[in-house]
Structures are given as C-alpha cells and as structure tokens.
C-alpha cells in the first residue's frame, strides 16, 4: 500500500488557544466522535487519539518549556554578566 501524504487544514483557534501551524502529514485522521480520532498511517498499527487529552498534554509541555526557558534565560544572564566582569 503506498504511503498517502495529505496536508491538513487547521480551523481558526479559539482565543485561548495558540494557533496550530499547517504541516505536511503522512497520515490520515478518521473521526470517531467529537473527542476521538483514529490515526491511520501506512504502518500496520492504528492509534486512537483522544483530542482533549492531547490538548492537555500540549498545554502541560508548553508550560514546562516556559519554565525551562525562564531558567535558561536566568542562567544566560548570569553567564553574560560574568563574562563582562571577567574581562575587566
């Protein structure tokens, strides 16, 4: 079976959601109900994806990345200031 490549069009996000970028995908989604879809690829495995759960995971990851980015910014600021005083 040849691999099918589709481009998914993403609806406009609600005001509290960040927009999802349009990407080239190598799978298709089959709607099961309002919250669940079946992800079909060229592989023999089939995945069932719960959309609200995936959105929560995405939000959790973005929050973690935000915290880590804040820590990295603080470290970079200290290292930058250290380099300035070291040169004096």
Residues 29-87: tens digit of each pLDDT: 889 998 899 988 877 777 888 999 999 999 999 999 999 999 999 999 999 999 999 88
pTM: 0.56
Instruction: Return the structure tokens found at 71.
Output: 């820590």
Q: H/E element holding 67?
A: helix 51-86
Instruction: Return the structure tokens found at 82.
Output: 């250290």
> Do 30 and 37 form a contact (C-beta atoms < 8 A)?
yes
- Euclidean distance between CA atoms 85 and 88, whole angstroms: 5
Could you give the maximum distance between any two Cα atoms of the chain, in Å?
67
Question: When comparing pLDDT for 18 and 62, which is higher?
Answer: 62
């Amino acid at each position: 079976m040849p691999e099918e490549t589709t481009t998914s069009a993403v609806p406009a996000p609600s005001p509290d959601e960040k927009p999802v970028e349009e990407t080239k995908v190598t799978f298709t989604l089959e709607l099961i109900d309002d919250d669940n879809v079946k992800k079909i690829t060229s592989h023999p495995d089939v995945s069932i994806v719960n959309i609200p759960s995936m959105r929560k995971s995405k939000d959790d990851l973005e929050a973690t990345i935000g915290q880590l980015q804040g820590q990295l910014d603080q470290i970079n600021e200290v290292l930058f200031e250290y380099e300035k005083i070291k040169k004096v």
